[in-house]
Amino acid sequence: MKKPDTLSTPGAAIASYTAIGDSFTEGVGDPGPDGTYVGWADRLAVMLAEQHPRHELRYANLAVRGRLLDQIVAEQVPRAVELAADLVTFCGGGNDILRPGTDPDAVAERFEEAVAALARSSGTVLIATGFDTRGVPVLRHLRGKIATYNAHLRAIADRHGCLVLDLWSLRSVQDRRAWSEDRLHLSPEGHRRVALRAAEVLGVAASGRAEEPWPPEAVRTPADARRENIQWAREHLVPWIGRRLRGESSGDRVSAKRPDLLPLP
């Protein structure tokens, strides 16, 4: 199948879109009114639908929180290949990189095998890099590991003709308000910024800019920061460590929210 020329034809019509990945693409941190997570991929789907209102967009989101790359490859990639959408967004490997002892080179090799399969069956494949974690407590020590993985992802995109959603360079998500209370997932505004950046990469018109300035924030004292850190550790860090020790995942017993290519409501 010939890929749409989204680079030379900004806003080229996309009639179908499949998103695969983990909690980031499922939309954790961005709850909707019915309790289902929204997230950047759902927001991007709306932008795509608004770009060409006369053409009904069909959208599937196969992402499930907590999934490791091998699980995404086994559970989601075959379905995405079967659906053969005009656009596939693929973000995976982040949960692997967070685990001690994982080799970003080995993770990237498995990622590339999946990208090759998606590129053969779908129109345009867009892959997302990891975020720059320099300002994120606990995760800042993984910055070099994430950067190594990102370098692989950019090379993979180049080899297979994919677009890149470069989240490392997205400065607006360095603001703490872009992140939810657990400091691992984006807030609703963070998801909106990522969706806007994805729209920019695809050449899709949107009402807003990914790097639009944040409004002024109230001054926080060192005492405020200490209280927030203690609350975060008690409510989020300790339970996260407990799940790791028990071999549990936040995605256990969770299934994809949009397993089929269906029109948006």
pLDDT of residue 35: 85
Percent of the chain past pLDDT 70, that is, above it, reads 85
Tell me: pLDDT of 224 over 80.
no
- CA dihedral (20, 21, 27, 33) positive or negative: positive
The CATH number of the domain holding residue 34 is 3.40.50.1110
pTM of the model: 0.88
Helix (H, G, I), strand (E, B) or coil at 230: helix
Q: Is residue 98 part of a domain?
A: yes
Question: By residue range, what is the domain housing residue 121?
Answer: 16-211+256-263
Alpha-carbon distance 58 to 262, whole Å? 5
Q: Which 3 state secondary structure label does DSSP give 200?
A: helix
Flag whether pLDDT at 2 surpasses 50: no
Answer whether residue 141 is part of any domain: yes
Amino acid 246: pLDDT: 63
How many domains does one find in the chain? 1
- Token readout for 181 is 């209370």
What is the chain's mean pLDDT, rounded? 88
Q: Report if residue 9 sits inside a domain.
A: no
Name the burial class of residue 261, with classes exposed (0-12), middle (13-18) and buried (19+) by CB atoms within 10 angstroms of its CB. middle
In a domain, 196, yes or no: yes
In a domain, residue 250? The reply is no
53 has a pLDDT exceeding 90: no
Asked whether residue 190 is assigned to any structural domain, the reply reads yes
Both structure tokens of 254 = 């969770």
Q: Give per-residue pLDDT as tens, 59-103.
A: 999 999 999 999 999 999 999 999 999 999 999 999 999 888 999
| 239 within a domain of the structure (yes/no) | no
- Is the pLDDT at 191 greater than 80? The verdict is yes
Q: Is residue 178 part of a domain?
A: yes
Contact by Cβ (8 Å): 144, 130: no
